[in-house]
């Protein structure tokens, strides 16, 4: 499909593919490197320690940018105090560890920039996509 993005990773010999599109709710696990200054025994002695951790960003995909090799996805979530937070993730990045699709959404637009002006529940409300293969029609 033309309006879907694919994220691939190779773990050992297996290749994992995750397909998502605009309107889906995804969780992006990305690696952070934190540097911290630690004082030594004397005042002049300062060591820099680095820690590596994985942080999760969960939100709605509002835009996909697709050029040849440089693909990116814009994810928006509602933070504390009803403040909207957006992050742009490059899909070809060593910092992204995993992408999970939590919920598939059904939208009519290629870019969901209109969610920026909404607040509260309406900012996070997108109709859930119905998968025809999973739905079972009741015989009459």
Model confidence pLDDT, tens digit, residues 47-82? 888 889 999 999 999 999 987 778 899 999 988 887
For the full predicted model, state whether its pTM sits above 0.85.
Answer: no
CA–CA separation, 132 vs 17, rounded Å?
22
What's phi and psi for 67, nearest 5 deg? -120, 175
What is the domain partition of the chain in residue ranges? 4-118
Residue 128, Cα to own-chain centre: how many angstroms?
17
Q: Is residue 20 within 8 Å of 61, Cβ to Cβ?
A: yes
Taking only the tens place, the pLDDT of each residue in 28-41 is 999 999 888 887 77
Identify the pLDDT of residue 133: 66
CA dist 57 and 49 (Å) reads 25
Return the closest-CA partner of residue 3 out of 45, 77, 66. Answer: 66
Angle at 46 between CA 42 and CA 50, to 5 degrees: 145
Q: How far is CA 28 from the centre of its chain?
A: 4
Is the domain defined by 4-118 classed in CATH 2.60.40.10?
no
DSSP class per residue in 23-81: T-EEEEEEEEEEEEEEE-SSSS-EEEEEEEEEEEEEEEEEEEE--SS--EEEEEEE-TT
Q: Are 55 and 29 in contact (CB under 8 A)?
A: yes
pLDDT for residue 86? 93
Which helix (H) or strand (E) is 10 found in, with range? strand 4-11
């Amino acid at each position: 499909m033309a309006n879907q993005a694919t994220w691939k990773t190779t773990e050992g010999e297996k290749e994992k593919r995750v397909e998502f599109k605009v309107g889906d709710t995804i969780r992006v696990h990305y690696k952070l490197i934190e540097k911290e200054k630690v004082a030594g025994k004397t005042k002049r002695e300062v060591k820099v320690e680095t820690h590596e951790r994985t942080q999760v960003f969960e939100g709605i995909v509002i835009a996909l940018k697709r050029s040849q090799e440089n693909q990116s996805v814009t994810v928006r979530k509602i933070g504390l105090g009803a403040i909207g937070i957006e992050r742009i993730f490059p899909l070809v990045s060593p910092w992204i560890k995993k992408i999970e699709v939590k919920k598939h959404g059904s939208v009519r637009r290629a870019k969901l920039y209109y969610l920026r002006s909404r607040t509260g529940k309406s900012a996070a409300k997108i109709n859930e996509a119905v998968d025809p293969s999973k739905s079972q029609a009741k015989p009459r």
